Amino acid sequence: MADLDGNKVAKDYGIDKPFHNQSFYIKGMDNIDWGMKDRLSKIFNPKTGKTVMLAFDHGYIMGSTSGLERLDLVLPDLLEEVDCIMGTRGAIRTCVPPIYNKGVALRCSAGSSVLDDDMSFEVIGVDIDDAIRMNASCMAIQTFIGAPGQKDSIENLVKTIDAGNRYGIPTLGVVAVGKDMERTTKFFLLATRMLAEFGCQIIKTYYCEDFEKVVAACPVPLVVAGGKKLPEKEALTLVYNAISKGAAGVDMGRNIFQAENPKAMARCVGKIVHENYSDAEAYNLYLELKDKI
């Protein structure tokens, strides 16, 4: 306890000043607890309100994939370029230095693989104790709206939300777009709103036509997945369009780690997300950096 020597008597009560109420900078999050806000602030930059997430959780359904053959060699160089990582506990514990000290979106769903015809039946693959032990900034659960495993995946999601609310860890609901699932505006309007109504604090979805309507109808922040590998120029236009239409960030995997120069790509994505670069400006920077860094 503080010593009592030289203790000054309180005197300036600022009687004429109203209490400095703080409305939180992330959409829909004014009424959550301090700890959850603290964790969200590790994901979404407090200055810009946005995030660049590096996704390398592909291994949970497809094993090693092009660009991620050696997580231990690929990840360290990319960490300084992003705000948050999206990975499994196995990848993070073995290949991410614990001094990384930024956002961790822990992939917690499990149970399907690319060998399945139907990947929509999953389980909760990480319990809350280990998410706490991992110091997760949020827990990511895949949901398959409209698929045979819809109910199972929603059950996984709401159980994770309940556990996360108990301990102040946000849940990131991942809108799955399985092999035969539609990717229309109508579908994303339905799926993102459902996940928000279930209580997700963050939702990962895909860019679509009229994306601004999906953003407007969803009361929590949306991050956009990169999806299949595109030419770098097109991928940067995807980022620009998503951010321009209200996305709170991107969660990109293949379009970063399969780029000709992943580090340069991650940096240029960040320029669009946090520094209002246009896609053309970001692509010109990419061409400049790809042979330098």
Backbone angles phi, psi at 205, to 5 degrees: -140, -160
| Residue 163 or 239 having the CB closest to ligand 5RP | 239
The answer to whether residue 89 forms part of the interface with ligand 5RP (CB under 6 A) is: no
37, 42, 204, 271: the catalytic one is 204
Contact between 267 and ligand 5RP by CB under 6 A: the answer reads no
Type of residue at 31: N
Q: Which is nearer to ligand 5RP, 189 or 252 (CB)?
A: 252
**With CB under 6 A as the contact rule, which of the stretches 10-18, 116-124, 224-232, 265-273 interacts with ligand 5RP?**
224-232
179 is a catalytic site residue:
no
Whole-angstrom Cα distance, residue 259 to residue 235?
Answer: 10
Does residue 227 interact with ligand 5RP by CB under 6 A? yes
Cα 85 from Cα 92, distance rounded (Å): 9
Residue 67 binds to ligand 5RP (criterion: CB under 6 A):
no
Nearest residue (CB) to ligand 5RP, 55 versus 200: 55
Return d(Cα 109, Cα 141) in angstroms, integer: 5
Give burial (CB, 10 Å; 0-12/13-18/19+) of 269: buried
Q: Tokens for 256?
A: 């970063």
Q: Judge contact between 128 and 169, C-beta under 8 A.
A: yes
Position 253 contacts ligand 5RP (CB under 6 A): yes
* Near ligand 5RP in 123-162, by CB under 6 A: none
Residue 133: its H or E element: helix 128-133
Contact range with ligand 5RP by CB under 6 A, out of 26-34, 54-62, 265-273, 283-291: 54-62
Figure out which of the listed residues 223, 251, 265, 268 binds ligand 5RP, where binding follows CB under 6 A: 251
Q: What is the 3-state secondary structure (H, E, C) of 223-242?
A: EEECCCCCCHHHHHHHHHHH
Count of residues binding ligand 5RP (CB under 6 A)?
14
x/- map, 159-198, ligand 5RP, by CB under 6 A? ---------------x------------------------
Least distance to ligand 5RP from the beta carbon of 23, Å?
Answer: 30
**Length reported for the chain:** 293
* H, E, C per residue of 245-286: CCCCEEEECHHHHCCCCHHHHHHHHHHHHHHCCCHHHHHHHH
Least separation in angstroms between residue 224's CB and ligand 5RP is 9
111 touches ligand 5RP by CB under 6 A? no
- Collapsing DSSP states into helix, strand and coil, what is residue 106? strand
Burial of 277: CB neighbours in 10 Å, binned 0-12, 13-18, 19+: buried
Nearer to ligand 5RP by C-beta: 189 or 223? 223
Neighbours of 134 (CB within 10 A): 18
Q: Which one of 29, 61, 169, 172 is in contact with ligand 5RP (CB under 6 A)?
A: 61
Nearer Cβ to ligand 5RP (35/63): 63
251 has which bridge partners?
Answer: 53, 225
Residues lying near ligand 5RP in the complex (CB under 6 A): 55, 57-58, 61, 86, 174, 225-227, 251-255
Q: Which residues are catalytic?
A: 204
